[in-house]
Structure 1
Amino acid sequence: MIQFFLKKPKFVIAFLFLFTLLLTSLLYEPLFGDKVFPNRFIFDKEGTIIGSSPFSPSEYPPFGTDRAGVPLLAKIIEGAKYTIITALIISTLQVLLSFILSIFYSRLPKLLQRGLEGIVESSLYLPASIIAFMLLAPLQFYLDPNVASENFLKLLSLQIIILTLIGIPQLVILFTKDIQKVLNEEYITASKTLGAHGLRLYKKHIIPFMVPRLLLQFSQRTVEVLILLVHLGFLFLFLGGYVMVEVFDGESQPFSLSNEWAGEIGKHFRGLSITPWEVYSPLLFFALTVLSFNMITNSIHEYINSTEIRRKKVNKKRSKEQEKIHSHKLSKERFVFIEKRTSNF
């Protein structure tokens, strides 16, 4: 599997981009985080104020600053780890928990499965962002992240748990159908005939078949979680909460504690016509991240297709060999050689 992906340039490029971005984000704060100071004003040689934040990319390259004077490049790098790692954690928990639950769900009576499946499919018409907003909005007031930053990890953990639970029912139904599809294969029936049951059946046949599909769903779910976070950012629900920062005299605005990209995009979207760089800068990195995960998804999909073709060829070859053996046995059984007898006449 690893050799297959290493031969795919788009997978290697996407993986290196995400790895480099995450490594830079993880090392940036301990190494350079204390060297970034807000630049609220620009002075001339005589000390007269000639400009105030936010500064455009031409005034403060490469991406300018926000209204508090913090360089957007620093915020983007610092928020990358919270954006990407949170999405990876949520998608990983969704896939693993859903697969475990689908094993038990596939053993339920068919009538109960159809009933639960109908409920899950009917809930698809309600956007996940609305459900997440209804569940996450009260937590902002309960934890009160505006008072102190010690509630950051507590709120972030609760947000991850809720966002994980939202996506599990759909995946359980999907994985259950895949498991039932495998169980109906001829080689599974043969394995059951030979005595393979329970954990051995899943270890030898189900799990190897499901691993590529789990990886595919993991990559797809990561993209879906990132898009969901953007929707929540537009609704002013930020990962880890927010603090109020004074941007002008007597005017304060909410700022994300984690500087995650989704919150930055949603927060500055209303000022798109005034300070477009505040939206376009995190949006650029967000788009590149989604593109990278889509490239990884396409590579995994190609791997699944190649394994399916290879598996069909092997099964076809085996079936032909079995047909030859079976026909050879029939020929021996149907035709009996009779000893030639000479006539006495």
Structure 2
Amino acid sequence: MIKRKLRRPVAFYTGMGLLLLLSLVALIGPWVIPYSPHQMFLLPVRAGEIIGPPELPSERHWLGTDAFGRDMLTLVLLGLRYTLLTVLLVAGLRILFGGMIGVLKGLSPQAGKRRLDGTLMRVTRLFPAFFIAFFLLFGINQMGSVEVLIIALVQLAVLVLIGIPQVVHIFEAYVTEWKGQSFVEASKLMGGSKWWIARKQLWPWLKDACALFMFQECILVLNLLGQLGVLGVFVGGMTRIENVFEREQAITRSFEWAGLLTQNKSFVISYPEIILIPVGLFLLLLFSLYLVSRGLERGYQREREEYPYV
């Protein structure tokens, strides 16, 4: 049996390093927050009027404060765990369940011949995941009396379910392509059973692609969270509170990053630092996932070129 020497591009290791660093921050973040997430800081009174918030980054508040005077570093550290866990869990469960269904359908003699499958794919293309997710999650998002964790779990289940059909289609097409390879036909002629061939030849051919599909799905989920956040649908739900100017505003209850970057958007002109910091962190997470995905894709292509029959 040929032993394949696995080689990954620098982009893969760079992305994994950033993801591990972010995971470490998400793990220790709740233990090192400088302030309570509900503590509001008001700037000194000048000429009889309260100046701010928000407050620009300073020695007291390294990332500044938001529109309610809450320390942004505290909110970012607390929100990372919800953001990262949601992305990884939704993508992982989509790959797990969608992958299993797709593989079974691909191994079926009727693979690619069912009219219902084609109809389902046309429907999913007609109604993108963003629209389906928004209409299903909008009502849940308003339930301020329900625990944040409960809302997050319900939202997670919805996000998983709406993404499974696309994953099923990808895996089914992948297995259908694999069935047409010459080495599979040779194994059949030599008397190999369908399940023996799947275990000995499909799984080695598929396992490397699963990691690639996983991180590509992570990117899609993170983009979806950002789109939902723009319309006020946050992981863990939302609540409305008044700022120091007695203006009511919707905010994220879990402090997840998509919510943080949208709830401060009204200050993009007057206090650009307040919006650029969460946007930059959100893009850093997205860039990390992209580097890993790109590295896996390049390594996978290189491996297929060197070992086309393994």
Structures share fold, TM-score greater than 0.5: yes
Cα shift at 1:108? 5.8
Match of 1:280 among 248, 253, 276: 276
Match of 2:103 in 1: 103
Match of 2:184 in 1: 188
Match of 2:201 in 1: 205
Q: What is the letter of the counterpart of residue 109 of structure 1?
A: Q
Instruction: Report whether the alignment pairs 1:81 with 2:84.
Output: no
Cα shift at 1:277? 2.7
Which digits, 9 at most, give the CA deviation of each residue in 1:10-69, with x for residues without a partner?
Answer: 22222121111221122121343666673422348x9x8763311122586532110121
| Aligned mates of 1:135, 1:55 — CA distance in 2 | 36
Q: How does 1:42-81 map to 2 (within 5 A)?
A: 42-43=43-44, 51-57=51-57, 61-81=61-81
Mean Cα deviation higher: 243-252 or 279-288? 243-252
Q: What is the letter of the counterpart of residue 287 of structure 1?
A: L
Mean Cα deviation higher: 23-32 or 174-183? 23-32
Structure 2 regions of 5+ residues with no counterpart?
none
Match of 2:256 among 250, 254, 260: 260
Cα shift at 1:241? 0.9
Find the residue that maps to 1:124 and give its secondary structure: helix
Find the residue that maps to 2:243 and give its secondary structure: strand
Cα shift at 1:203? 1.6
| Aligned mates of 1:111, 1:227 — CA distance in 2 | 29
Match of 2:27 in 1: 26
Query: Structure 1 residues 249 and 299, CA, compared in 2 at 3 Å: closer, same or farther?
Result: closer
Which digits, 9 at most, give the CA deviation of each residue in 1:168-219, with x for residues without a partner?
Answer: 1112111111101111112112222333224322221111111122111111
Match of 2:124 in 1: 123
Match of 1:17 in 2: 18
Instruction: Report whether the alignment pairs 1:243 with 2:246.
Output: no
Match of 2:133 in 1: 132
Q: What is the letter of the counterpart of residue 182 of structure 1?
A: W
Match of 1:92 in 2: 92
Find the residue that maps to 1:293 and give its secondary structure: helix
Q: What is the letter of the counterpart of residue 99 of structure 1?
A: G
Instruction: Report whether the alignment pairs 1:4 with 2:2.
Output: no
**Does structure 1 conserve the Cα–Cα contact (< 8 Å) formed by 2:140 and 2:237?**
no
Mean Cα deviation higher: 22-31 or 111-120? 111-120
Query: Structure 1 residues 249 and 273, CA, compared in 2 at 3 Å: closer, same or farther?
Result: closer
Which digits, 9 at most, give the CA deviation of each residue in 1:255-298, with x for residues without a partner?
Answer: 21211111112222244223333321111011111111111111
Find the residue that maps to 1:41 and give its secondary structure: coil
Instruction: Report whether the alignment pairs 1:169 with 2:165.
Output: yes
| Aligned mates of 1:194, 1:247 — CA distance in 2 | 74
Q: Which has the higher helix share?
A: 1
Match of 2:114 in 1: 113
Which has more radius of gyration? Answer: 1
| Aligned mates of 1:13, 1:84 — CA distance in 2 | 18
Cα shift at 1:4? 2.0
**Does structure 1 conserve the Cα–Cα contact (< 8 Å) formed by 2:36 and 2:74?**
no
Q: What is the letter of the counterpart of residue 104 of structure 2?
A: F
**Does structure 2 conserve the Cα–Cα contact (< 8 Å) formed by 1:39 and 1:53?**
no
- Identity percentage of aligned residues: 23
Cα shift at 1:229? 0.3
**Does structure 2 conserve the Cα–Cα contact (< 8 Å) formed by 1:241 and 1:257?**
yes
Q: What is the letter of the counterpart of residue 15 of structure 1?
A: M
Match of 2:265 among 266, 269, 280: 269
Structure 1 regions of 5+ residues with no counterpart?
316-345
**Greater than 4 Å deviation, 4+ residue runs:** 33-37, 58-61
**Does structure 2 conserve the Cα–Cα contact (< 8 Å) formed by 1:4 and 1:303?**
yes
Query: Structure 1 residues 2 and 228, CA, compared in 2 at 3 Å: closer, same or farther?
Result: farther
Match of 1:147 in 2: 145
The higher relative CO (CA closer than 8 Å, separation ≥ 6) is in 2
Which digits, 9 at most, give the CA deviation of each residue in 1:219-240, with x for residues without a partner?
Answer: 1111111010011001111101
Q: What is the letter of the counterpart of residue 86 of structure 1?
A: T
Match of 2:152 in 1: 156
Aligned length: 305
Find the residue that maps to 1:42 and give its secondary structure: coil
**Does structure 1 conserve the Cα–Cα contact (< 8 Å) formed by 2:87 and 2:222?**
yes
| Aligned mates of 1:288, 1:152 — CA distance in 2 | 25
**Does structure 1 conserve the Cα–Cα contact (< 8 Å) formed by 2:141 and 2:234?**
no
| Aligned mates of 2:157, 2:238 — CA distance in 1 | 19
| Aligned mates of 2:64, 2:33 — CA distance in 1 | 18
| Aligned mates of 1:288, 1:67 — CA distance in 2 | 23
